[in-house]
């Protein structure tokens, strides 16, 4: 990325760019691409998802991210061990708890239900971790799409 597009963080969530993800991923280490490419392929099959690059100011790195409308679906930290990150609100928690997710994830959601949101961080160290994370992405995607669609009376 050129110095002009880097910029500094903007607000709590940092700066968001919609373009350049393919170039960003192409410049990454082969082991990282081996995880991101199958993840992106599966995410691109979901309706209404856009991808971009997000500057995670707390981590000090640019991260690949996916969105449904203006809401973030997830982002992936690459520095210091690759992991996928998403939030779960108290309203979303029941859908995650009803799914067949690992018990550790369910415990983290249950412990965080008193907060406005729980941040979940899931290891993505190899392509074999993608299906489990994708299961969570699919739940979050469904919930964001339901929230975005007009309510019927």
* pLDDT mean values, one per 10 residues, the chain (153 residues): 35 53 90 95 94 90 93 93 92 92 88 81 93 94 84 47
pLDDT (0 to 100) of residue 102 = 86
Which residues have CB under 8 Å from 148's CB, separation 6+? 48, 68, 69, 71
pTM of the model: 0.81
| DSSP one-letter code for 43 | H
pLDDT (0 to 100) of residue 13 = 47
pLDDT (0 to 100) of residue 17 = 55
pLDDT (0 to 100) of residue 152 = 45
pLDDT (0 to 100) of residue 84 = 95
Report how far residue 5's alpha carbon sits from residue 52's, in angstroms, rounded to the nearest whole number.
13
């Amino acid at each position: 990325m050129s110095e002009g597009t880097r910029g500094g963080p903007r607000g709590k969530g940092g700066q968001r760019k919609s373009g350049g993800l393919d170039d960003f991923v192409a410049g990454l280490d082969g082991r990282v691409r081996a995880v991101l490419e199958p993840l992106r392929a599966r995410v691109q099959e979901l309706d209404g998802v856009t991808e971009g690059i997000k500057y995670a100011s707390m981590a000090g790195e640019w991260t690949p991210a996916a969105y449904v409308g203006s809401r973030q679906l997830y982002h992936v930290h690459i520095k210091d061990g690759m992991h996928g990150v998403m939030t779960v609100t108290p309203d979303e928690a029941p859908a995650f708890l009803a799914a067949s997710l690992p018990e550790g994830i369910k415990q983290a959601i249950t412990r965080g239900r008193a907060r406005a949101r729980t941040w979940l961080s899931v290891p993505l160290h190899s392509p074999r971790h993608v299906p489990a994370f994708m299961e969570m992405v699919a739940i979050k995607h469904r919930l964001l799409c339901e929230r975005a669609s007009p309510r019927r009376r």
